[in-house]
A = this chain, B = another copy of it.
Amino acid sequence: MSNEELFVATSVKNWSIVIDRLEKAVSAFSDNDLQLEVSPGRNRVYYLVGHLAALHDRMFPLLGLGERLQAELDGPFVNLPDRASVDISPAADLRRFMFEIHARIREGLGAMSPEDFLRRHADVSEADFQKDPTRNRLAVLQNRTAHAAFHTGQIRLALKK
């Protein structure tokens, strides 16, 4: 493996570890228990599953991996806070969306070259990217890895001890 391939393999592995832990935590809830709050008065696990599914779905265009699968999640799970809209997605569907999105991201990451990871991501302009070349696709992957870990820490609090 070249050094560049090793940098990528290490980052992709870290994403996979975090996503595996997230999926394991989410799988430990019954559909009904997804309604639990992570702490009194805070987000429901249901909301965080939708939120993470939506944010990860947005990685497809950001990383140049094609079209999104579930753009309709943005309204209730990104643009609005928890309980600001009626729950239109059954919990079982939300969970399935998340797992499907993760499986497709894994495929997409596996097909990216080291050079691909250093290209600008789709939300930064060519001019801004010239000024700061760390605004690349690897940064998106690492940012989303940390974001997934952030909410996994919360979701785990709703699990019965």
Residues of A within 8 A of B (CB): 1, 3-4, 6-11, 13-14, 17-18, 38-42, 114-115, 117-118, 133-134, 136, 138-139, 142-143, 145-147, 149-154, 157, 161
Return the contact of A149 from the options B133, B150, B161 (Cβ within 8 A).
B150
How far does the alpha carbon of A42 sit from the alpha carbon of B38 in the complex, in Å? Answer: 11
The interface residues of chain A, by DSSP majority, are classed as helix
Check B149–A11 contact: CB distance below 8 A. no
Residues of B within 8 A of A41 (CB): 161
Residue of B nearest to A150 (CB): B153
21 A–B contact pairs at CB < 8 A? A1-B133, A4-B4, A4-B7, A6-B118, A7-B8, A7-B117, A10-B142, A11-B142, A13-B139, A14-B142, A18-B146, A38-B39, A38-B157, A39-B39, A41-B161, A146-B149, A147-B149, A149-B150, A150-B152, A152-B153, A154-B154
How far does the alpha carbon of A77 sit from the alpha carbon of B161 in the complex, in Å? Answer: 20
